[in-house]
């Protein structure tokens, strides 16, 4: 009887924790099922590809800490969504096979990349459209880049697992995570291509330009990724003058690595301008009191992200409904409550 109360308290604590974080548990279970399902078909290649994807996405998550608003849990959800879109890609491939046959053809080599690049962006575009009047307004350029990068990395992981499974040697893997090398040709991979496409969308959303220039910037990353992807697929099946022209334009696959690095720097610089310079002082992350204990780090990090959301949303609030504007206008008060330990929405 003496230890009944502590046990009861522990049980309630575990139950309360499960209720608060049920989405995390559900996501973890979904990812575990995904890994197990792929391993039954691709064997050890599953873990090798997952390691490369983790290196790439993990590096991006760490590099972007100074400006991102998204939690790693939410980014991991997009990794799972991206992995799921490969099922639709398989159906699309079956459609191409019905129309053009299974033999390699120009239409198939050029058409499949166009379809796959848009499929990987679907989770990102869905969020931006569904939450366009709410939470999506608080996403910075780097946030959109990360959503696309994790989605593309999920797609890459599943596809690469099967590629590795059918290779007797893994010497073709590039030194940069997720990239492959075939002779003098660099394959940037789905993760990099999606990062480029997401970066231009995020940058376009954050620039105060007229609609048409923003649309051109937003779609430019997708067009480049489709071109580089198509150059890879076409060059793998044909060696004519057109294949040579495609490889020349794309730098034999190397240009994408330069482009993704430049876009990452541009997105982070743009977000830093809004968060640390242009934003009202009360919304700047630097105005948040540093945590006094390890237990307060999580609350501090949520408050920082919340202030960034307000800073990124501010330029877009002039033409939105009053209730949305009021929501972000009160973000400083919510952050102050969080600092005092009051409950608030984490904005995950």
The residues with which 187 forms a beta bridge, in sequence order, are: 180
User: For the residues 294-323, what does the mean pLDDT come to?
Assistant: 70
Q: Which of 146-150, 200-204, 328-332 has the lowest mean pLDDT?
A: 328-332
Between 139 and 98, residue with greater pLDDT: 139
Strands 180-182 and 185-187: antiparallel
CB 169 within 8 A of CB 127: no
The residues with which 186 forms a beta bridge, in sequence order, are: 181
Q: What is the pTM of this model?
A: 0.80
pLDDT at 318 over 50: yes
Buried b / exposed e across 149-175, counting CB within 10 Å, b at 16+?
bbbbbbbbbbbbbbbbbeeeeeeebbe
What is the chain's Cα-based Rg?
22
| Spatial distance between the Cα atoms of 114 and 225, rounded to a whole number of angstroms | 9
Q: What is the mean pLDDT of the chain?
A: 78
Q: Which of 1-5, 81-85, 116-120, 261-265 has the lowest mean pLDDT?
A: 1-5
List, for residues 61-90, the tens digit of each pLDDT value.
999 999 999 988 889 889 988 988 888 888
Residue with tokens 């099946």: 237
CA 289 and chain centroid, separation = 29
Residue of 48, 42, 139, 129 lying closest to 86 (CA atoms) = 42
Query: What's residue 229's pLDDT?
Result: 95
CB 329 within 8 A of CB 321: no
181 and 324 inside one domain: no
Query: What's residue 47's pLDDT?
Result: 84
Domain presence at residue 19 = no
194 and 265 inside one domain: yes
Residue with tokens 């499949």: 112
Long-range contacts (CB closer than 8 Å, 24 or more residues apart) made by 308-311: 308/67, 308/68, 308/69, 308/138, 308/140, 308/271, 308/275, 309/69, 309/135, 309/138, 309/139, 309/347, 310/138, 310/279, 310/283, 311/274, 311/275, 311/278, 311/279, 311/283, 311/284
CB 158 within 8 A of CB 178: no
337 and 195 inside one domain: no
244 and 328 inside one domain: no
Total number of residues shown for the chain? 348
- Answer with the one of 228, 244, 278 that is the final residue of a domain: 278
Domain presence at residue 13 = no
Residue of 145, 35, 168, 162 lying closest to 93 (CA atoms) = 162
pLDDT at 14 over 80: no
| Spatial distance between the Cα atoms of 46 and 39, rounded to a whole number of angstroms | 6
| Spatial distance between the Cα atoms of 182 and 266, rounded to a whole number of angstroms | 30
Domain presence at residue 23 = no
214 and 239 inside one domain: yes
267 and 303 inside one domain: no
Domain presence at residue 72 = yes
List, for residues 174-227, the tens digit of each pLDDT value.
667 777 777 677 888 899 999 999 999 999 998 878 889 999 999 999 999 999
- Answer with the one of 253, 278, 303 that is the final residue of a domain: 278
Task: DSSP letter for 173, please.
Answer: B
pLDDT at 11 over 90: no
| Structural domain total, the chain | 2
Residue 40: helix, strand or coil by DSSP? helix
109 and 171 inside one domain: yes
Between 238 and 98, residue with greater pLDDT: 238
Query: What's residue 346's pLDDT?
Result: 36
| Spatial distance between the Cα atoms of 189 and 52, rounded to a whole number of angstroms | 11
Domain presence at residue 3 = no
243 and 260 inside one domain: yes
Q: Which domain covers residue 96, as residue numbers?
A: 41-278
Residue with tokens 């003058």: 241
98 and 239 inside one domain: yes
Query: What's residue 175's pLDDT?
Result: 62
327 and 180 inside one domain: no
The residues with which 182 forms a beta bridge, in sequence order, are: 185
Domain presence at residue 27 = no
190 and 69 inside one domain: yes
């Amino acid at each position: 009887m003496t230890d009944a109360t502590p046990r009861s308290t522990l049980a309630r604590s575990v139950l309360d924790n499960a209720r608060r974080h049920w989405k995390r548990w559900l996501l973890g279970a979904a990812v575990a099922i995904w890994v197990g399902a792929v391993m039954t078909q691709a064997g050890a290649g599953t873990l090798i590809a997952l390691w490369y994807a983790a290196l790439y996405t993990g590096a991006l998550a760490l590099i972007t800490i100074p400006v991102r608003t998204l939690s790693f849990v939410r980014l991991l959800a997009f990794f799972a969504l991206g992995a799921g879109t490969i099922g639709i890609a398989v159906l699309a491939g079956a459609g191409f096979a019905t129309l053009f046959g299974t033999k390699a053809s120009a239409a198939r080599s050029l058409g499949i990349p166009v379809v796959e690049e848009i499929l990987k962006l679907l989770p990102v575009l869905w969020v931006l459209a569904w939450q366009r009047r709410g939470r999506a307004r608080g996403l910075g350029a780097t946030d959109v880049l990360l959503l696309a990068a994790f989605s593309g990395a999920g797609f890459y992981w599943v596809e690469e697992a099967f590629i590795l499974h059918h290779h007797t040697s893994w010497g073709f893997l590039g030194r940069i995570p997720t990239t492959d090398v075939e002779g003098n040709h660099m394959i940037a991979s789905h993760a990099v291509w999606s990062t480029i496409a997401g970066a231009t969308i995020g940058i376009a959303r954050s620039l105060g330009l007229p609609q048409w220039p923003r649309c051109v910037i937003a779609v430019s990353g997708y067009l480049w990724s489709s071109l580089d992807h198509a150059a890879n697929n076409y060059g793998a099946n044909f060696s004519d003058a057109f294949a040579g022209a495609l490889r020349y334009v794309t730098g034999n696959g190397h240009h994408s690595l330069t482009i993704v690095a430049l876009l990452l720097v541009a997105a982070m610089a743009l977000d830093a301008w809004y968060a640390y310079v242009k934003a009202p002082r009360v919304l700047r992350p630097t105005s948040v009191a540093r945590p006094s204990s390890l237990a307060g780090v999580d609350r501090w990090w949520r408050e920082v992200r919340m202030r960034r959301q307000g800073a990124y949303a501010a330029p877009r609030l002039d033409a939105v409904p009053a209730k949305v504007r009021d929501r972000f206008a009160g973000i400083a008060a919510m952050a102050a409550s969080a600092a005092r330990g009051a409950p608030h929405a984490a904005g995950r």
